[in-house]
Amino acid sequence: MRTLIIALFSLAATLAQASPPELKVPAGRAVLVDGRCEAEEWAGAATIPLGSGALLRAQQAGEYVYLCVQPAAPSRFGVDAYFARTGQPVLNLHVSAKLGERVAGEKGFPDWAWWNNVRWTGNPTRPNRFDRPDFQADEAKELQIHRTRLAGAGLRMMLEVHSDATLTYPADAKAGETARWMAIQLD
């Protein structure tokens, strides 16, 4: 009996490694990107637990896809959302105290060029003061991404939530290995 239980756990672990998570992004309503992730705006969104009490919410409305990353409690954090499409370079969208995007090349990602976001936005962390780094805690990070930025077959996504420690979703995903990323289905 013990051998059977061990074999079943081993099979379950192998199957979990073999198939990355999938996310079908439902139709919803437009969202005000203000870092609040309000229940009325996100009613009906797909919700995925990221670990450590954090949640990802996703929905689409019109020409936009909306994402909300919400920690268990308000905190100072940033988000890197990585998107891969078949035959296209990986796109990295960053939201923290600055917004930025970059595209992977043959040698990996280039250095950041801040405030270069095109056809997407997110809520940057708000400063408490300007004479030294001092930022407010965020309830959430919301992103609004034009669908053309995500166009192409085989859309996959990986998230990194940066705070005191980095939370990666899917947990076993790596920036350079897109096969373990979450498969995204848009209508």
pLDDT digits (tens, 9 = 90+) for 72-107: 999 999 999 999 999 999 999 999 999 999 999 999
Give Cα separations from 38 to 49, 50, 118, 119, 142 (angstroms).
Answer: 17, 18, 25, 23, 10
Mind listing the pLDDT tens digit for each residue in 109-142? 999 999 999 999 999 999 888 898 889 999 999 9
Note the pLDDT of residue 9. Answer: 42
CATH code reported for the domain at 21-185 = 2.60.40
Q: State the CB neighbour count (10 A cutoff) for residue 169.
A: 21
What is the predicted pLDDT for the residue at 156?
A: 97
Question: pLDDT class for 10, splitting at 50, 70, 90?
Answer: very low
How do the domains of the chain map onto residue ranges? Answer: 21-185
